[in-house]
Structure 1
Amino acid sequence: MKRLVRILAAALALTVSTSPAWPADWLPVREISLTIAPGSPLDFSGFLPNGPIDGDSRLVAGTDGRLARAGAPDRPARLFCASLAWSPASGGFPNHADADVYARQLAMHGYNIARFHFIDGSLMFGRQKDFDFDPEILDRIHYLMAALKKHGIYWMVDGLTSWRGGYGGHDDRWAPSEGLKLEVNYQDRAFAHWKRLVTDFLTRVNPYTGIAPIRDDALAMVVLVNENSMEFETVVHDRAGRPYPDSLRQPFNTWLRERYGSTQALRAAWPDLRANERLENASVRLPVERYTDSPRLRDLQAFFVETEKDALARMTRVLRELGYRGLVSDYNNWPTVQTGLTRQNLEAVTMNTYQDGVMSYEPGAKIKNESSLADAGSYMRMAAASRWLGKPFGITEYDHLFWNRYRYEAGLVMPAYAALQGWDMLCRHGHGPIALQYGEPFPHKRAMLPYAIALDPVARAGETLSALLFRRGDVSMSRNTIPFLVRGEEDLTDDMQATEPDTLTVLSLVSRIGLRQSDGLRESLAVNQPRGEADAGKLLAAMKASGLLPENNRTDPAQGIFQSDTGELLLDRDKRSLTLSAPRTEAAAFVALDGPIDLETIRIERGDGDALFAASALDGAASLATAKRMLLIFATDARNTNMRFRDREEKVIEDFGTLPVLIRKGTLSIEFKHRTGRWRLSPVGLDGVVHAPLQSGNGPLRFQLNNDTPAGPATFFLLETD
């Protein structure tokens, strides 16, 4: 591998020296190797250690409903997740030697759980017979599992991810196809397929651990089927005039017959029931329009809730009978009222959420290119409103996707609010969270792409900050919990797409929120039913009156200003800014600096564009005010060489371009208030190498932070004081 890295480095050096001038204000990344050295400023394993995985450290639902280790059920365990969503196009599962390096690197980056996603696609790629797993891929997966466990990294596994499951003879395993993922909820044939798939994979003894994964303490969670919410899966395959597949008609009619008993009773509930629709011969039609509210849609939602709960119980039983003791989750997307009712029965709740999704890698793919702060972090808030209080909760997928220019926000928005909410797990989705080097010869590694965060310096900066804010716990958990009370099926309306109101989920920017069964009772400091009668402003005022919120809390929903009840986080929707002032980390994400940003210890005086800035103590100090070694993060934007768009607003891609990655130039004026003495500032490469100091001084700790350094563009800096 070292020889390959030298060859790639020489090739890149030649490219840089002979290429035409780079676009103005964009700098080519010079690193080839992305493996970080032990003891470097990017090696977090010293203060974020992963202990051995055994019976005492097996993950369970703790005494307060938080994730915990079996030997310490009253002490929450926070999981920082590495998404392993490899395919042949992104290089697939590594060989044994690379797996050892990769697992060690994940631990150094601070990860302590890995999600195995689309393993069915990888195991069945190129296979013609059902359940005929590729033996080499299976061996690589087993070896990687053992390597991860050796470094104290738990596993989370999808029972089914690919729409093709274990069926042979298909070459579209990563593309949506109609059938299995929906039908597993209600068809015996599809359920039997799922059962065979999870049994064949999870019960095979791993030769490198000596135990089957299903009985291994390292297997912390199984997501039964990724993104199989019934309404969502029908949306994926929606056809004009036929939003719901015919396979749903018979089970829906059976359910209606059990509920109403007769066509006459159904007609009293459904004014639009046609004369030729009868329960007695199962001829009641499915809705022909999902976005026009109707009693028919309301009953379809109730049918989905009961069907999904039954499927969840049935699949969970299979795992328990096979000897699995870990946590089970499912229905990890689609934040509607209907799926919220389904998730009430989960042992652990998980959710996927995205800012500015991208549906294709082909020319013509579109994004909105909008700031997540402009809508007060709605993608985070939707996830927060899907949580059930008293159960472990985690994000199985999130991202603020490339090539959105504001994606630097994700490194502050998601980990900071995840910590404020007291979530248990955070997983930014990608082919893999890290890469060992630039220039690997695979189609999805030849340039930065959406869902490929490992090659993106902006995403990597965000993940680095996430390890500190979320796993290390630099952001304090909220002091208060605001329950969103749920009665049950009576909360369903005729609107199939109904979600928790945006005007109420803003409460998650102030305090913890989550769903809680109400049994029809109302509470004074809660979001009650019906939601139309709830008012966030009045609830916040009541919290202040009761002393739950400080009098000086600056939250004003009408002005788009939200301050956490801890006082650490302040979001200004109209300015599109978010700041954090916590003892060990201070940070700011901003679109523009129309004036200085004053944090507790740091003052950002000037800047020349939108960016993320953060400073974190590295030396065990209790605060930045006393820290002697600090990691600074400065992330602007990054794109590929020769990247082209079809429009001036850069919303529609024409060509993703090639490596090397380019980073946009940027400068900030930084002052550490009330700190004087000897100091030096050094750039840190993406490989963790500390380069020669850029600046030093003896006096006020004040400097110009410029990411255009002699060693190449930098997103990381080491600030040291004597």
Structure 2
Amino acid sequence: MTMKRLRQITSITALLAFALAPAALLGAAPDSGRVPVNIPVKSSRANGMDISFLNNAPAGAHGFIRATPDGHFANDKGRVKFVGIAIVGTLCFPNRAEADEIAGYLARHGVNLVRFHFFMNYLLAKDKARANGYFAALDYFIHALNRRGIYIDLDLYDLYQISPPGIVPDGGRFKPNDFFFYSKAIEAQKYYASLVFNHVNPHTKRAYKDESGIAFAELLNENSPFWGDTLQKCAGESKAELEKLFIAWVEKNAISAADYKALLADPAKPLAPGNITFPSVYDSEAMKEFSVALMLRYYRSMKTFLGTLGARIPLTGHNCPLSPADFYTLARTMDYTCSHFYWTHSDKSSLKTPLNHFWTLPPQLGRVRNAGMPAIVNEFSYSHPNKYRSEGLPELMAYGALQDLDALVLFSYHDEWPKFMKNGKPAQGSWETPNEKLRYHSNLVKDPAIWPLVPALALSFRQGMVRPAENRLRITSTRDEAVKRETRERRYTKEQMDGLETDSFYSRQLLASSEETYKKVISIARAYDKTDTAQLLAFTSRVEREFTPGPGGFLYNADGGPSAPRLDIKPWRISYLPVDDNSNFTAAHDSLRRALAKNNIKIPAVENGVIASDTGEIRRDFANGVLSVDTPRLVVRSGFIQGDNAALGGTLAFAVGNEHLSAAIVSGDAKELASARTVYVLFGVNAGNSGEKPAKMKDFHIGSDYGDGGEPPIMADALAVSLSWKRTHAGYRVFAEDPDKAEYQLLAESKAGGDMVSFTCLKNAYRYKIVFD
């Protein structure tokens, strides 16, 4: 990249001219166009991005991470918040040189957590030499990460294609829901857990059960009887065991024949093995209750077993609960909750999407937390080829902080689709020969919409630059409500259904029943949910659920103590069917706001197409598709921000020629922007593969090809931005990062004191660092 020094404008007259002039006259590129970008997957360049001061190295130096009674993670020094990224499959096993380089690169971006995902199969390789080689690589990688203050999140049980010695599952391999009840699957899980936690890392001389650099672990990935109805698919030996467990459950709980009749293959015959079918959990009350009993039994037994091994880290079960029943079982047995979030709509801006759309981010984050438990997002991506995906990290910065979450984990760092143990090699991409294309929700390190903004996420979230909501609103639910809330509530005509933008599998599961039932019955289960006011409240306030003996369906301010007044929220029935003019949402929100005010709970009104947080720091202009975050240490503008933008009381101005992008101006040393010595100016822009065709759509979601077409190089929107900042200084330097080399080069400087900082961004540089003398 050719760098060019720019003349410095240091007068107040220039600032006024900047604020008034069109963007095209300010030195910004008149035609944004596109430029090739090839961000490296690892780098050790000393003059690149470096905010590793955020990490307290080595990870675990202040004791084990634990869940605290107030619902957060902490070590002996105090609360710990995580910004992480997933590394998947064979990429969990780099060689030593690669491990050191990757660990350093991540630490310099402010990452303090790596989630290992789809890695267990390799440790189970039947070829012992190969298995030992994988363990050796993993040991050193964990050691390298821990040395740089990066903790580990273990996704323990996922995608098992290899069974432990002496365990032969019926049919040759385990099915997802086998792990809740099938004796061989549970025996295998205990073997897997023992293999990992009893293993001694030769570089630390500690077993992983004694390693405080392991932060926490997940028992299951995207796996629950309420996820995909997979109990219906049980067969052979596992189904025989499930039938015995069901009969025992019926007898123990004195379930009447009328309640389980729907599960009998032949209702004229008695309950007995061979005469039981397992329908959708969404179609049978007995099936729901039995499924919850299975989950509670499994979680308790596995947590007890891991305790006997000596594991001391927080645990969760199913790592992507969608159902209230899932959350109930986790609340009764586990240490924390987590969830996955993907925005996968190729032609939809999240910031312009109707507020009552179920998959908008703030309500999804508002559904993650159980009262008194830490809550994390352990998979997050606004996925390629969505052309507005640069909105993702700004939304996560804003609403992850508003909900006071404990960890935000991006999915995934580099291309993660290995062939697992079919041939032991990744299908695409490796550390030696990186995949140079953008892919669905992988290869985020290559994505100019995502990767340039990661340091802003780390700086802001880990240091609390965006304040948590002032209102901590708790919604009560009884056990029966949590389980039985899944029943269908409304039916729609064919005309209504034809007009519905369906959200593929996930919303079919939530809004209908199972995929199969959806095809047969015109019905929607949760189009109106009696107690899900998170959709209304999470844009403004922190929301959490509390399971209580009763009564359920009430809302109160958790900071008000036991005597806080409670509001019956069942009258507020929220439609998830998108209404483009937001009239449904606005009317319901205003009605609820007025009711809350009578209980001395104040939330902002929706005004002129804008909904703001109760802190006043976050403004979502859904009418124009703009997200604004304004705090003393962080300024964010995301979405359709073409034109003039101002912040910090009008002292900071930047003109944007791009129709759509995201910008973050963040303090690099925790001081307020007005006095910080180092300030980062970071941008996320749309990008795609060369020659990429529009993604096929399936029910509003990206189709099965995941938009992975096209070839290298990646082409990104050219940046068309000029910035001017009225701030007294003794001199400054502006550095621009060459994205292809991951290093900063001098762009502009002023050695004399003054009261103005101004520069025009380069079209192919998306990170800038201002260093004040």
Query: Shorter-chain TM-score: what band?
Result: 0.7 to 0.9
By how many angstroms is 1:627 displaced?
Answer: 3.0
1:574 alignment counterpart: 623
Correspondence list, 1:192-591, <5 A: 192-234=187-229, 248-264=242-258, 266=260, 275-276=267-268, 278-279=270-271, 283-287=275-279, 294=283, 296=284, 298-357=285-344, 367-373=345-351, 374-376=353-355, 378-432=360-414, 445-450=435-440, 451-491=442-482, 492-493=484-485, 494-495=487-488, 497=510, 504-521=534-551, 522=554, 524-525=556-557, 528=568, 530=570, 536-544=589-597, 548-549=601-602, 553-555=604-606, 561-591=610-640
Q: Distance in 2 between matches of 1:502 and 1:140?
A: 46
Q: 1:610 aligns with which of 637, 656, 660?
A: 660
Are 1:156 and 2:153 an aligned pair?
Answer: yes
Q: Distance in 2 between matches of 1:646 and 1:262?
A: 51
Q: Distance in 2 between matches of 1:536 and 1:30?
A: 45
CA 1:472–1:582 in 2, change beyond 3 Å: closer, same or farther? same
Correspondence list, 1:589-600, <5 A: 589-593=638-642, 596=645, 600=649
Are 1:658 and 2:655 an aligned pair?
Answer: no
Are 1:29 and 2:27 an aligned pair?
Answer: no
2:767 alignment counterpart: 716
TM-score scaled by structure 1?
0.80
Aligned residues: 653
Deviates more, 1:246-255 or 1:193-202: 246-255
2:176 alignment counterpart: 181
2:88 alignment counterpart: 85
By how many angstroms is 1:274 displaced?
Answer: 6.8
By how many angstroms is 1:116 displaced?
Answer: 1.6
Q: Distance in 2 between matches of 1:379 and 1:532?
A: 20
Q: Distance in 2 between matches of 1:160 and 1:644?
A: 36
CA contact (8 A) 2:719 2:761 kept: yes
Give 2:348's aligned amino acid: E
CA 1:397–1:523 in 2, change beyond 3 Å: closer, same or farther? closer
**Partner SS state of residue 271, structure 2:** coil
Deviations 1:55-78, CA, capped at 9 Å, x for gaps = 743211224221111x24xx3211
Q: Distance in 2 between matches of 1:53 and 1:286?
A: 46
CA 1:689–1:197 in 2, change beyond 3 Å: closer, same or farther? same
Percent same amino acid at aligned positions?
A: 21
CA contact (8 A) 1:609 1:666 kept: no
Deviations 1:88-142, CA, capped at 9 Å, x for gaps = xxx5511112212222222222122221211113334xx447x986111110001
Q: Distance in 2 between matches of 1:33 and 1:187?
A: 41
Give 1:471's aligned amino acid: R
Q: Distance in 2 between matches of 1:694 and 1:312?
A: 58
Q: 1:135 aligns with which of 110, 132, 142?
A: 132
Give 1:414's aligned amino acid: L
Q: Distance in 2 between matches of 1:150 and 1:144?
A: 10
CA 1:238–1:592 in 2, change beyond 3 Å: closer, same or farther? farther
CA contact (8 A) 1:276 1:283 kept: no
CA contact (8 A) 1:416 1:469 kept: no
2:493 alignment counterpart: none
Q: Distance in 1 between matches of 2:753 and 2:335?
A: 53
1:9 alignment counterpart: none
Deviates more, 1:379-388 or 1:566-575: 379-388
Query: Superposition RMSD on alpha carbons, in Å?
Result: 3.9
Structure 1: segments with no counterpart, 5+ residues: 1-22, 170-176, 358-366
Deviates more, 1:519-528 or 1:416-425: 519-528
Give 1:35's aligned amino acid: S
CA contact (8 A) 2:55 2:150 kept: no
Q: 1:44 aligns with which of 51, 54, 62?
A: 51
Q: Distance in 2 between matches of 1:646 and 1:101?
A: 34
Q: Distance in 1 between matches of 2:263 and 2:107?
A: 60
By how many angstroms is 1:30 displaced?
Answer: 6.0
By how many angstroms is 1:281 displaced?
Answer: 5.8
CA contact (8 A) 2:163 2:173 kept: no
Deviations 1:578-631, CA, capped at 9 Å, x for gaps = 11001111001113547756564534444331100111122443x222334311
1:18 alignment counterpart: none
CA 1:524–1:58 in 2, change beyond 3 Å: closer, same or farther? closer
Correspondence list, 1:42-81, <5 A: 42-46=49-53, 48-54=54-60, 56-69=62-75, 71-72=76-77, 75-81=78-84
**Partner SS state of residue 644, structure 1:** coil
CA contact (8 A) 1:586 1:602 kept: no
By how many angstroms is 1:569 displaced?
Answer: 0.6
By how many angstroms is 1:346 displaced?
Answer: 4.1
CA 1:631–1:36 in 2, change beyond 3 Å: closer, same or farther? farther
TM-score scaled by structure 2?
0.75
CA contact (8 A) 1:215 1:324 kept: yes
Give 1:515's aligned amino acid: R
Q: Distance in 2 between matches of 1:51 and 1:118?
A: 27
CA 1:198–1:473 in 2, change beyond 3 Å: closer, same or farther? same
Are 1:147 and 2:198 an aligned pair?
Answer: no
Q: Distance in 2 between matches of 1:465 and 1:146?
A: 26
Structure 2: segments with no counterpart, 5+ residues: 1-30, 167-171, 417-427, 489-508, 511-524, 558-565, 575-587
Q: Distance in 2 between matches of 1:599 and 1:109?
A: 25
Give 1:103's aligned amino acid: A
CA contact (8 A) 2:376 2:407 kept: yes
By how many angstroms is 1:32 displaced?
Answer: 5.3
2:117 alignment counterpart: 117
